[in-house]
């Protein structure tokens, strides 16, 4: 008879950052390292803070999905009632969302995406850093267009 795993943990010694230990259960998690900055604790969905896990340098939540905040390098995002309200920014990225009324997602030099009354009105451009960027407009059930112009 197999029993599901309800408790797991890891510990590793990294040459560049030192020791890293993690303990995970379905709702409770905690971990620590060589510095106070590497300590984290959480009880999902009540409150918690993860550090250097699941692709983010920091992920915090309180009564998820009521409040969530995450950071990656210089990008920081805050969401209230995720995924409905979101504000995020960095030197190269900007995101604002009041779903489904309005959304703006910009990564300078790579893409720009906008919507009003999603999914009915969407427009933007992608692949701006490529030889042939794509510009699109989608007015759901009314008109859609995709324009791809090679740069000369």
pLDDT at 150: 60
Q: Which stretches does DSSP call E strand in the chain? A: 8-14, 18-24, 28-33, 40-43, 47-53, 56-62, 67-72, 75-80, 85-89, 93-98, 102-107, 111-116, 121-126, 134-139, 143-148
pLDDT at 50: 87
Decide if pLDDT at 82 tops 90.
yes
Q: Parse the chain into domains and list their residue ranges.
A: 1-72, 77-152
- What average pLDDT does the structure give for the chain? 86
Average pLDDT over residues 59-72: 96
pLDDT digits (tens, 9 = 90+) for 93-111: 999 999 999 999 999 999 9
Average pLDDT over residues 70-83: 96
Average pLDDT over residues 129-142: 88
Decide if pLDDT at 69 tops 90.
yes
pLDDT at 1: 47
């Amino acid at each position: 008879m197999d029993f599901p795993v309800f408790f797991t943990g890891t510990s590793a010694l990294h040459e560049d950052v030192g020791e890293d230990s993690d303990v995970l259960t379905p709702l409770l998690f905690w971990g620590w390292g060589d510095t106070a900055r590497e300590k984290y604790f959480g009880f999902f969905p009540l409150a918690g803070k993860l550090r250097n896990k699941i692709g983010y340098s920091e992920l915090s939540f309180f009564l998820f999905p009521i409040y969530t905040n995450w950071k990656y390098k210089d990008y920081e995002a805050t969401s209230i009632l995720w995924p409905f309200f979101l504000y995020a920014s960095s030197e190269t990225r900007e995101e604002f969302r009041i779903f489904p009324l309005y959304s703006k997602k910009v990564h300078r030099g790579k893409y720009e995406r906008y919507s009003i009354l999603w999914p009915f009105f969407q427009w933007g451009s992608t692949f701006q850093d490529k030889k042939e960027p794509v510009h699109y407009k989608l007015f759901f059930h009314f008109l859609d267009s995709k324009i791809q112009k090679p740069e000369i």
